[in-house]
Amino acid sequence: GEDVEQSLFLSVREGDSSVINCTYTDSSSTYLYWYKQEPGAGLQLLTYIFSNMDMKQDQRLTVLLNKKDKHLSLRIADTQTGDSAIYFCAERRQGGKLIFGQGTELSVKP
């Protein structure tokens, strides 16, 4: 299909790890992105990964890419209440267009 798929909701306890999953569609996509949206705000770029990489780590964030299965995940270590937000994955298709998933709403409970 044409869509980038994400589950809509994830709930974790403060201090646990969160894993947000995404399935994209175009095997020729060159870059994949994770954005964060806090309530009533725009999207903030968290991190991105080039398609020839399997993993990228940036402080508490770890991105894993399984190109064979077209699966992308974002792991947030030691999740805090300030991490509560909607997380969007996006793929950059041939020609430059960014296609976004539906977003996963992460709820962090104290």
Partner 1 sequence: DGGITQSPKYLFRKEGQNVTLSCEQNLNHDAMYWYRQDPGQGLRLIYYSQIVNDFQKGDIAEGYSVSREKKESFPLTVTSAQKNPTAFYLCASSITWDTNYGYTFGSGTRLTVV
**Considering only residues 42, 68, 69, 82, which one is a binding residue for partner 1 as defined by CB under 8 A?**
42
The answer to whether residue 30 forms part of the interface with partner 1 (CB under 8 A) is: yes
Round the CA-based radius of gyration of the chain to a whole number and report it.
13
State yes or no: residue 95 binds partner 1 (CB under 8 A): yes
Q: How far apart are CA 5 and CA 21, in angstroms?
A: 9
Nearer Cβ to partner 1, position 60 or 93? 93
Euclidean distance between CA atoms 88 and 25, whole angstroms: 15
In whole angstroms, the minimum distance from the beta carbon of 109 to partner 1 comes to 21
Task: Give the residue among 56, 57, 54, 32 at the shortest CA–CA distance from 45.
Answer: 32
Q: Within 10 A of 106 (CB to CB), how many other CB atoms are there? A: 20
Considering only 11-19, 58-66, 72-80, 85-93, which stretch makes contact with partner 1 by CB under 8 A? 85-93
Q: For residues 46 and 34, is the Cβ–Cβ distance under 8 A?
A: yes
Q: Which of 76, 103, 106, 108 contacts partner 1 by CB under 8 A?
A: 103
Query: What are the residues binding partner 1 (CB under 8 A)?
Result: 4, 8, 30-31, 33, 35, 40-45, 48, 50, 88, 90, 92, 95-98, 100-103
